[in-house]
Amino acid sequence: MDTTVTAKKKWWAGGYSPFNVSYGKLMMWYFLLSDAFTFGALLISYGTVRFSSTSWPDPNHVFHSFPFMGDMNLPLVFVSLMTFILIMSSVTMVLAVHAGHNRDKKAVVKWLIWTIIGGAAFLGCQAWEWTHLYHNNAWWGSNPFANADGTAAMNSNFTDFFFTITGFHGLHVTSGVVLNIIILLNVLGGTYEKRGHYEMVEKVGLYWHFVDLVWVFVFTCFYLL
Amino acid sequence: MAHVDNTAEHKNTGTAHIWKTFWILLGITVVEIVLAFIHLSTGFPGKLLLNSIFIGLTLVKAFYIVAEFMHLGHEIKNLILSVLVPLVFFVWFIIAFLADGDSWKNMRKDLSPGKPRVEQKAAPAQHGGHH
């Protein structure tokens, strides 16, 4: 940390970025800020509707299945696996960025591939979960789950919010995987080697970590609370 | 990149801090899941306390992801404030909207069909008046 230097430097005097990051990186931060408000709006509206309901389905009852485990009651286990996969892919992304700082092309390629595998694995898990719920008659407009207090569901608010928010997050993961693949192709093609830096990996890395960040909140709001 | 002077300091640093952050995130998630299972089998800690712990731990996880993985903790103050200050809006959003939801729930409960009206002005019908 160069806090002593930065304190004296006149950041707003011009001649350099007052944020000490490149334009592209700053804009990625501002994009993520706006995306945070989009997800925030979705999660807060979910919270509002849940608060306004006299009863709500119990997540431990709804999300209790695991692939190939049949009817075994395993609340939280599958979504914990998904959370672990996403955190792990965030770590491999940081390692790719780190390798980029060291201009270590082979390591960047390796860690990017692991990140893509992690993202694909997460999407696979989500596809299984959605399919499973769909076969249990849960979908937009269709809520088969009884409320925690035993009363029948009066509307499909629960499934509507679940599929909309996890779907919007899944869409972000999908575009993150696509971006990672594009970056990987560029790394393999030597684009960043020619450019002299791997900052593009950092920018896409920021997006990827944001996707992980959103999942932390989705995980809490839908599966824990 | 010439105008950005923090690229050199990252070179040849170890990956230990990355893995440390990973273990913190994993550890917190495991604690959350264990707490959820303890609650399922024993009913302790109570739902309100449990949810408060969950939200607290979520914010701790968010802090580590943003500060370490997204590297914001190592950027200069200008950038940190530029990104974090707008998020203050969330404080108001959450308070206002959840309070609104809660108010709707109370109205649903109090005004649901068949429920006797409490502390309402006497209905005109009781006076038998036909105006």
pLDDT given at position B97: 96
Q: Residue type for B53, please?
A: I
Which of A83, A115, A117 lies closest to A100 in space, CA to CA? A115
Structure tokens, A159? 């499934």
pLDDT given at position B1: 42
CB contact under 8 A, B87 and A33: yes
Share of chain B above pLDDT 70, in %: 79
Q: What is the ipTM metric for this complex? A: 0.89
Residues of A in contact with B51 (CB under 8 A): 224-225
pLDDT tens digits for B32-57? 999 999 998 888 888 899 999 999 99
pLDDT given at position B116: 73
pLDDT tens digits for A38-58? 999 999 999 999 999 988 998
Which of A199, A100, A208 lies closest to B15 in space, CA to CA? A100
Which of A25, A62, A36, A20 lies closest to A153 in space, CA to CA? A62
Residues of B in contact with A222 (CB under 8 A): none
**What is the rounded distance in angstroms from the CA atom of residue A113 to the CA atom of residue A149?**
46
Burial degree of B6 (CB within 10 A; 0-12, 13-18, 19+): middle
pLDDT given at position B11: 47
Q: Would an 8 Å CB–CB cutoff place A107 in contact with chain B?
A: no
Q: Which of A29-33, B66-70, B108-112 has the lowest mean pLDDT?
A: B108-112
Residues of B in contact with A224 (CB under 8 A): 32, 36, 51, 54
> Domain residue spans in chain B?
9-74, 75-111
Cα Rg of chain A (Å, integer)? 21
Residues of A in contact with B78 (CB under 8 A): 11, 18-20
pLDDT tens digits for A143-172? 999 998 888 888 999 999 999 999 999 999
Q: How far apart, in Å, are the Cα atoms of A74 and each of A59, A185, B37?
A: 12, 40, 10
pLDDT given at position A68: 77
Q: Residue type for A112, please?
A: L
Structure tokens, B99? 């309070």
Nearest to A54 among B33, B82, B105 (CB): B105
pLDDT given at position B40: 87
Give CA angle at A10 (A7, A13), nearest 5°. Answer: 165
pLDDT tens digits for B69-102? 999 999 999 999 999 999 999 999 999 999 999 9
Q: What is the pLDDT along chain A (225 residues), one digit of tens a residue?
A: 445 555 567 888 888 889 999 999 999 999 999 999 999 999 999 999 999 998 899 888 888 888 877 777 788 889 999 999 999 999 999 999 999 999 999 999 999 999 999 999 999 999 999 999 999 999 999 999 999 888 888 899 999 999 999 999 999 999 999 999 999 999 999 999 999 999 999 999 999 999 999 999 999 999 998
Which chain A residues in 3-62 lie under 8 Å from chain B, judged by CB atoms? 6, 11, 15-22, 26, 29-30, 33, 36-37, 40-41, 44-45, 47-54, 60
Cβ–Cβ under 8 Å, residues A95 and B18: yes
Whether the pLDDT of residue B2 is over 50: the answer is no
pLDDT given at position A1: 47
**What is the rounded distance in angstroms from the CA atom of residue B106 to the CA atom of residue A53?**
9
pLDDT-based confidence at B8, cuts 50/70/90? very low
pLDDT given at position B118: 60
Q: In 3-state terms, what secondary structure has residue A155?
A: coil
pLDDT given at position A6: 53
Residue A69, beta-bridge partner list: none
pTM over 0.90: no
Q: Residue type for A212, please?
A: D
pLDDT given at position A69: 75
